[in-house]
Amino acid sequence: MPYSHYTLETLKSLIEAAGLAGYIYQHSSHMLVLQEALNDDGSPLNNFIQHELSADQIGLQFGLRLLDNKLEFLIGVTHSNQDRGYEIGAGNLKADQRAFNLLYAFYNFPKAFYLIHFPLAANSTQLEEEIEKQLFQLESMGFLDTAIKTNPMGEQVKWMKTFIVQAALDIKVRIQTSLL
C-alpha cells in the first residue's frame, strides 16, 4: 500500500478524524505519536501490562514516522520494574525517542525505552517478526518468556508477548484503515 502521497499534516488530520487518540503529538516535521490512544468505542486503550511474578511492567505507545516519502509504524516501549537503581527521565531519550512521553506505570519509573519501527505497509507476519527481532530477543526482555497463561483450549500462551503483538497489530490496522 503506497503512502508516499501523504504529508504529515494530512496524516494527522485523517488520524484525528478517525478518533484513534485523545491527542496526536507532532514531533519535528516527520513524526506523529498517538497520546492517550483509544479503542474503537472511544474508551482508553490499555497500554500497560504487568508480569504477575516479577512485577516487570511494559507500557506501549504508537506513532508514525514519515521520512523520504516512506511511512513507518512506530512502537514506543517502556520497561519498568522494582529495581530502583536506575530510572530514566525524559531528558535521557535521544533523537526520535523524544517524541514519546515516558509512560509511568503505577509507582515505577521506566528503566528502559525501546523504539521499534517498520513499514506501515508490513503485513501481520512481518510485524510479528520485527517485534521479535527488535524487542523480544533483547536480554532485558527475557521475563516475557515466563509470563505464561493457559488459554481456553488448554494451550500454554506467552500472554505478554501476545498482548504486545495484538495491540500493535490492532493500532496499525486502525491507522491503515483511517488512511483509506
Q: What pLDDT score was predicted for residue 2?
A: 64
Q: What pLDDT score was predicted for residue 1?
A: 47
Pairing of strands 112-119, 48-50: unpaired
Q: What pLDDT score was predicted for residue 54?
A: 84
pLDDT in tens, 129-162: 999 999 999 999 999 999 999 999 999 999 999 9
Is residue 127 exposed (0-12), middle (13-18) or buried (19+ Cβ within 10 Å)?
Answer: buried
pLDDT confidence of 9, banded at 50, 70, 90?
very high
Is residue 179 exposed (0-12), middle (13-18) or buried (19+ Cβ within 10 Å)?
Answer: middle
Q: How many helices (H) and strands (E) does the chain have?
A: 3, 8
Other beta carbons less than 10 A from residue 141's beta carbon: 19
Q: What pLDDT score was predicted for residue 100?
A: 80
Report phi then psi at 117, rounded to 5.
Answer: -145, 145
12 grid coordinates: 494527522
Q: What is the pTM of this model?
A: 0.90
